[in-house]
A and B are shown apart, each in its own frame.
Chain A
Amino acid sequence: MARYDRAITVFSPDGHLFQVEYALEAVRKGNAVVGVRGTDTIVLAVEKKSTPKLQDTRSVRKIVNLDDHIALACAGLKADARVLINRARIECQSHKLTVEDPVTVEYITRYIAGLQQKYTQSGGVRPFGLSTLIIGFDPYTDVPSLYQTDPSGTFSAWKANATGRNSNSIREFLEKNYKETSGQETLKLAIRALLEVVESGGKNIEVAVMKKEHGLRQLEEAEIDAIVAEIEAEKAAAEAAKKAPVKET
């Protein structure tokens, strides 16, 4: 039994925790995830790699509920995600039991990040190989929030962020194009960002919208297709507008 107490995550001579960095590599290989926070709407969009024909898509939901008012999407090792999500769900209910109040987004993010950190400083375990994007509305204050955690156990709040494959390019796009939005505009911004790196089409993207009143709502494929079509049309119109003035002169 003593053998299993040996720490796997140890410092390298130049101050790195290689296991944590390798975990971040695993995240970089995971599917792309985008989160955008609007004034009254928060959107999570996830890349869906081609699903085998016989697979029941309902069993591989990538955007999940932690509670009625909090949702999570992650990039990285899906099996690790399942364990982390279960612990987070239990903590949401445990908090309700002890203080009779639903968790705030910051609280549950802190809990998940704390859990991820614990696994970088314990014997016989490896870090969780996933980064999460957590969205939700705080109870009573109704403030919308978007948080990100990573395998090292750090967390921070964002107006818009991406993780997983090509997250850098998506983040660049968001930095260039982000502005305060609400409702449908927030949804379009999130999908536009994801379309930068993903083939367009309803069957390659999974999108969920969270609003104060109705909690998390997963969009149907047809809905996503419609919005994608709108975005493509807008893009084409912008292209045409750019070319037109040149022609006239």
Chain B
Amino acid sequence: MMKIDFSGLESAVLRSCPNSELFDGISTTPSFQIPSTTDFDGFQKEAIQMVKPAKGTTTLAFIFKEGVMVAADSRASMGGYISSQSVKKIIEINPYMLGTMAGGAADCQFWHRNLGIKCRLHELANKRRISVTGASKLLANILYSYRGMGLSVGTMIAGWDEKGPGLYYVDSEGGRLKGTRFSVGSGSPYAYGVLDNGYRYDMSVEEAAELARRAIYHATFRDGASGGVASVYYVGPEGWKKLSGDDVGELHYMYYPVEPTAVEQEMTEVSVA
């Protein structure tokens, strides 16, 4: 069993020179070791800013009557450079649980894979599947223990367990929230606008998929860091199923088809005459 380790609170000064006459009678407040820099406060902020990518992406998930709908874009950007238009941002943890990726791609991929391993070990040891609650808590505890070390993960764990559909938001600050509607990433404000406007609890699977697709499309339209392909997954009692993966460029012309204007029509008539 782990005993709580108080050694960090012992005064470093007293430890190094316990018998020094200089310190007799002077009480020093307990302190812990700090990095030796010129500007300690600024150093902390700079370090955090350096490792904190802006989470350029749009992902969303919501619970409705039939289960959970999960959707994401597929663009990866490095500043202004689009490094990939085909990133898989919905990660399949196991046949009945999905995770979304926002933030550092490597961090998300690795820790979701690690979570999948832990979930499988839990199944083997306990002869039953782990709950979405349990899985999200395992991930949140791991991320909390790495807090401040530069991990960048903003993920949603969606799944179907004995209690029904489950959705949790977990991030690298160590936060964990249970909810029915979430969107994560730089495009999330735009996605929330469409999602919150069109959401009803009793939608059919097709209606919910269309809502998710439209929300991702609108986010990719306005947010430069989101784009590529809008993938939509559905999680039901049988597990997850990929419903669609549409290029957002094509979705644009589907929602806003180009109609010939009056001026152009005039021009064609003139050229004939």
Contacts and interface: CB of A to CB of B under 8 A. Distances in A.
A87 B1 contact: yes
A107 B126 contact: yes
Contacts of A110: 125
Contacts of A99: 130-131, 133-134, 137-138
A56 interface: no
Contacts of B126: 104, 106-107
Given A107-B126, A140-B162, A101 B133 contact: yes
A90 interface: yes
Interface in B1-35: 1
Nearest to B131: A101
Nearest to B132: A100
A90 B134 CA distance: 18
A163 to B, nearest CB: 25
Nearest to A139: B162
B180 interface: no
Interface in A36-93: 87, 90
Interface residues of B, number: 13
Nearest to B140: A98
Q: DSSP class of A's interface residues: helix, strand, loop or mixed?
A: helix
Interface in B111-140: 125-127, 130-131, 133-134, 137-138
B85 interface: no
Contact of A101 (B1, B125, B134, B141): B134
A217 B180 CA distance: 39
A107 B133 CA distance: 18
Contacts of B125: 110
A48 B162 CA distance: 42
A104 B130 CA distance: 13
A100 B131 CA distance: 9
A98 B176 CA distance: 13
A140 B162 CA distance: 9
Nearest to B127: A106
B1 A98 contact: no
Contacts of B138: 98-99
A100 B134 contact: yes
A189 B125 CA distance: 34
Contacts of A101: 131, 133-134
Interface string A8-45: 00000000000000000000000000000000000000
A14 B138 CA distance: 45
Interface string B56-72: 00000000000000000
B117 to A, nearest CB: 16
A99 B128 CA distance: 13
A101 B129 CA distance: 13
Contacts of B134: 98-101
A140 B128 CA distance: 12
B167 to A, nearest CB: 14
A90 B1 contact: yes
Interface string B158-201: 00001100000000000000000000000000000000000000
A118 to B, nearest CB: 12
Contacts of B137: 98-100
A87 B130 CA distance: 24
A98 B133 CA distance: 9
Contacts of B141: 98
Nearest to B134: A99
23 contacts: A87-B1, A90-B1, A98-B134, A98-B137, A98-B138, A98-B141, A99-B130, A99-B131, A99-B133, A99-B134, A99-B137, A100-B131, A100-B133, A100-B134, A100-B137, A101-B131, A101-B133, A101-B134, A104-B126, A106-B126, A106-B127, A107-B126, A140-B162
